[in-house]
């Protein structure tokens, strides 16, 4: 299936291993390539028509990328299911077996994060002393309990609010993001026949980015594998040094723990060759290893003379000017393309005003960032699925992806009881490609486009309650999101050009949080606000700080600039924040003057 130059020995050994595999992959080691070829190989080996290969990814974007790579290898993907754990639980557990759960048996609708935030915000209003907000009500489920992220003082009030919130969801036959996992787990535990049936359908379950997986997610996958009694193989891959989602319940399970949970044998393997970064960059971020892993630079930039700086002198008031000079130098002197530069900070609150200031100071350059997406990315919302087709370029390079999206749109219409017998995927794309509008407001454009499309398809979507509910949820949450972003100063976010950029290839300087940049790679990475209480977040351990710094450093190919600016104060104590302790303590021969 591959040429000798496509894969290294470590990758080939992992792909060809016939037993289940637990694979620790260092940054830039070709993890996605390895996973892609492993899926392709297992699909090619399928002999039974009713068998499936299941791949669980952390994001839908990763699922799309892997799916397309497999199709480019010429492998039939009709027996591949790939997506996030939430989508997996909806598709394979809640929708077919929800009738057996007391909270789902009369039907249910999944609400988006905007609806959740709105409901909890309303329930928080009576709680003024102590003041409780939606941000204090973070929670997730394990297989045994609901875990809160608030302080001990706030806990009884938050428990009260969440109890009311869950009762409200139940009364309205609604399910939120976290309950998808909870109800899926309860179903497969209370009805063992579900696990047995699923295990008879799956030949392989592959899990990407295992270090970001929650305990209840491990349990769901493990129950299915265990029910297979050795017939379901697994391929678990990730990097424990990048486990930075602990506050959301994610953690890096050990191979031994997962083997005991799933009652299987796995071979522990590793990918240790970094093809992304220079030797100097690898040497630097290896200082922050929490788990002892071996990494060596092997790519085309391995001998690149990287510049690594650590700035503790710049004042907060000078930060915009300093970043402006640094960006200009990289682009105009070093010749780095603007889309190969990334600016990072611990939280989006630090990036919003900074992005506005940089856009004013550097009008000749463009900026991209996850916080600048003008509508809600709810993959299970029908209108979001259609939006992907509407806003993406009908080009040859996008054809396969848009054709798959069209299939998902038609499948959702069918689920809503719409007669789609006369509509094919290609027909849907043709109809979308022929609609031309002059409207410049993004949401108005989408509404007009959708109305025209459904008129052409001779479908009145108002006759279908689920489509109406999804329509209201998509547009109300998107309007709220746009208003929030505009309030932060990004006034152009409502234009159709801003909407289209969401599905375009990265073209400008990337602005992101550290958590949001997982999986990305750039020639130049610039990170600021690296201060104690922010990296790590207040109350977290030094290990948390090391993992965040590991992620920052491992995103860079050529140059890395780290900034712990002066003059940034704690919001409560008003004391000046100091540089992140583990960063300050790192003994490294930094370069002198920053360019």
Q: For residue 76, give Cα distances in angstroms to 7, 16, 67, 81, 424.
A: 21, 19, 10, 12, 20
* Per-residue pLDDT at 349: 83
Is residue 595 scored above 60 in pLDDT?
Answer: no
Is residue 391 scored above 80 in pLDDT?
Answer: yes
pTM: 0.89
Is residue 91 scored above 70 in pLDDT?
Answer: yes
What domains can be seen in the chain, in order of their start residue?
9-94+182-271 (3.40.50.300), 109-172 (no CATH), 279-373+503-584 (3.40.50.300), 382-501 (no CATH)
Confidence of residue 594 (pLDDT cuts 50, 70, 90): very low
pLDDT in tens, 286-319: 999 999 888 999 999 999 999 999 999 999 999 9
Give the 3-state secondary structure of 118-168. Answer: HHHHHHHCCCECCECCHHHHCEEECCCCEEECCCCCCHHHHHHHHHHHHHH
Confidence of residue 395 (pLDDT cuts 50, 70, 90): confident
* Per-residue pLDDT at 538: 66
> Mean pLDDT, to the nearest integer, of 135-163?
94
Query: Coil, helix or strand for 337?
Result: coil
pLDDT in tens, 426-458: 999 999 999 999 999 999 999 999 999 999 999
Confidence of residue 1 (pLDDT cuts 50, 70, 90): low
Write the Ramachandran bin of 320: left for phi over 0, alpha for psi from -120 to 50, otherwise beta: alpha
- The answer to whether the beta carbons of residues 263 and 226 sit under 8 Å apart is yes
* Per-residue pLDDT at 5: 78
pLDDT in tens, 229-251: 999 999 999 999 999 998 889 99
pLDDT in tens, 158-172: 999 999 999 999 999
């Amino acid at each position: 299936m591959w040429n000798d130059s496509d894969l290294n020995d470590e990758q080939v050994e992992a792909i060809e291993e016939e037993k289940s595999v637990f694979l620790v992959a260092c940054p830039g080691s070709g993890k996605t390539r390895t996973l892609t070829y492993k899926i392709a190989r297992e699909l090619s080996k399928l002999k039974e028509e009713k068998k499936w290969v299941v791949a669980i990814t952390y994001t839908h974007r990763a699922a799309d990328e892997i799916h397309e790579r497999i199709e480019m290898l010429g492998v039939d993907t009709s027996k591949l299911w790939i997506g996030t754990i939430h989508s997996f639980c909806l598709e394979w557990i809640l929708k077919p077996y929800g009738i057996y759960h007391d909270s789902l048996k009369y039907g249910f609708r999944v609400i988006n994060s905007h609806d959740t935030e709105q409901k909890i915000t309303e329930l928080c209003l009576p709680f003024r002393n102590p003041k409780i907000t939606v941000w204090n009500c973070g929670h997730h489920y394990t297989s045994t309990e609901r875990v809160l992220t608030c302080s001990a003082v706030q806990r009884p009030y938050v428990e009260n609010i969440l109890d009311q919130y869950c009762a409200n969801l139940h009364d309205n036959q609604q399910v939120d993001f976290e309950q998808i996992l909870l109800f899926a787990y309860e179903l497969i535990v209370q009805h063992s026949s579900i696990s047995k049936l699923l295990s008879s359908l799956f030949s392989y379950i592959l899990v990407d980015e295992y270090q970001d997986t929650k305990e209840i997610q491990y349990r769901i996958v493990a129950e299915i594998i265990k029910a297979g009694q050795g017939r379901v193989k697994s391929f678990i891959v990730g990097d424990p040094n990048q486990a930075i989602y602990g506050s959301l319940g994610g953690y890096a399970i050990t191979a031994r723990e997962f083997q005991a949970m799933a009652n299987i044998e796995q071979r522990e393997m590793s990918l240790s060759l970094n093809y992304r970064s220079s030797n100097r960059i690898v040497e630097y971020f290896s200082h922050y290893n929490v788990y002892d892993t071996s990494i060596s630079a092997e790519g085309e930039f391995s001998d690149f003379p990287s510049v690594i700086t650590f700035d503790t002198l710049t004042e907060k008031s000078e930060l915009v000017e300093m970043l402006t000079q640094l960006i200009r130098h990289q682009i105009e002197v070093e010749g780095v393309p603007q889309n190969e530069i990334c600016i990072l900070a611990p939280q989006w609150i630090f990036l919003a005003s900074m992005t506005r200031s940089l856009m004013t100071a550097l009008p000749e350059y463009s900026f991209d960032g996850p916080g600048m997406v003008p509508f809600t990315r709810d993959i299970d919302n029908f209108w979001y699925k259609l939006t992907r087709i509407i806003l993406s370029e009908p080009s040859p390079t996008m054809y396969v992806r848009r054709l798959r999206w069209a299939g998902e749109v038609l499948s959702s219409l069918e689920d809503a009881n719409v007669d789609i017998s006369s509509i094919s995927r290609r027909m849907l794309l043709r109809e979308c490609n022929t609609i031309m509008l002059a409207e410049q407001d993004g949401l108005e454009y989408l509404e007009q486009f959708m109305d025209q499309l459904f008129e052409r398809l001779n479908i009145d979507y108002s006759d279908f309650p689920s489509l109406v509910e999804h329509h209201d949820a998509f547009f109300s949450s998107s309007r709220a999101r746009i208003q929030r972003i505009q309030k932060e100063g990004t006034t152009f976010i409502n234009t159709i050009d801003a909407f289209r950029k969401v599905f375009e290839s990265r073209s400008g300087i990337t602005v992101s949080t550290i958590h949001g940049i997982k999986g990305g790679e750039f020639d130049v990475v610039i990170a600021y606000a690296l201060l104690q209480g922010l990296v790590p977040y207040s109350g977290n351990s030094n290990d948390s700080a090391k993992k965040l710094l590991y992620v920052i450093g491992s995103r860079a190919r050529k140059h890395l600039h780290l900034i712990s600016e002066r003059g940034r104060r704690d919001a409560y104590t008003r004391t000046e924040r100091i540089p992140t302790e583990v960063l300050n303590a790192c003994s490294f021969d930094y370069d002198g003057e920053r360019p």
